[in-house]
């Protein structure tokens, strides 16, 4: 009977220890995900191109390269393209969606052509990565992890 109780106690202790290590590993992984989510602008960005040198009517075929330097797939990036006319004011905005950007790679989106644009202004307006649980702009009210999807 004593051997059976000792064996049961050992099994229970082992189960608790395994549970603790699994829990600790999950907490470490979630901390890494939170850090990447909160610093997504360091990992997902438009590659530098000099769009200010576009001549009047040359915004046809404009490609927007977006780099994903994370180890996670980015499901969607939306770029707002502001077409600027002579005089410097934005007179029209268009949205360009780029889907399924693989980890550590670049994917390009095509902006609609515009005959009046002399230059463009680009801004990332949306980022979604399901594997990272990243949603920008964030709607999460937790200030410690504002870009975590609800």
Which pLDDT tens digit goes with each residue over 28-44?
Answer: 567 789 999 999 999 99
Q: Which position has the higher pLDDT, 106 or 13?
A: 106
Which pLDDT tens digit goes with each residue over 59-82?
Answer: 566 889 999 999 999 999 999 998
Check whether 12 has a pLDDT greater than 80: no
Tell me, yes or no, whether 115 lies in a domain: yes
Check whether 97 has a pLDDT greater than 60: yes
Tell me, yes or no, whether 149 lies in a domain: no
Check whether 92 has a pLDDT greater than 80: yes
Check whether 143 has a pLDDT greater than 90: no
For residue 72, which of 114, 42, 102 has the smallest C-alpha distance?
102
Check whether 20 has a pLDDT greater than 50: no
- Report d(CA 63, CA 14) in Å as an integer: 57
Q: Which residues pair with 11 in a beta bridge?
A: none
The domain tally of the chain equals 1
CATH of the domain at 125: 2.60.40.10
Tell me, yes or no, whether 2 lies in a domain: no
Structural tokens at position 110: 């095509």
Q: Which domain holds residue 54?
A: 39-136
Check whether 26 has a pLDDT greater than 60: no
H or E, element range at 23: helix 2-38
Which pLDDT tens digit goes with each residue over 99-139?
Answer: 999 999 999 999 887 777 777 888 999 999 999 999 999 87
Q: Which residues pair with 109 in a beta bridge?
A: 64
Q: Which position has the higher pLDDT, 39 or 6?
A: 39
- Report d(CA 93, CA 9) in Å as an integer: 68
Tell me, yes or no, whether 91 lies in a domain: yes
* Res 148: pLDDT: 92
Tell me, yes or no, whether 100 lies in a domain: yes
């Amino acid at each position: 009977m004593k051997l059976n109780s000792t064996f049961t106690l050992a099994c229970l202790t082992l189960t608790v220890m395994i549970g603790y290590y699994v829990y600790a590993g999950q907490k470490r992984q979630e901390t890494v995900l939170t850090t990447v989510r909160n610093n997504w602008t360091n990992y997902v960005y438009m590659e530098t191109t000099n769009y200010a040198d576009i001549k009047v009517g040359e915004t046809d075929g404009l490609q927007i390269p977006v780099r994903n330097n994370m180890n996670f797939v980015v499901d969607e990036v939306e770029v707002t393209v502001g077409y600027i006319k002579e005089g410097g004011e934005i007179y029209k905005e268009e949205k360009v969606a780029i889907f399924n950007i693989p980890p550590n790679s670049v994917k390009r989106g095509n902006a609609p052509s515009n005959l009046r644009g002399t230059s463009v202004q680009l801004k990332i307006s949306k980022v979604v990565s399901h594997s990272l649980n990243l949603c920008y702009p964030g709607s999460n009210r937790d200030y410690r992890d504002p870009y975590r999807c609800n």
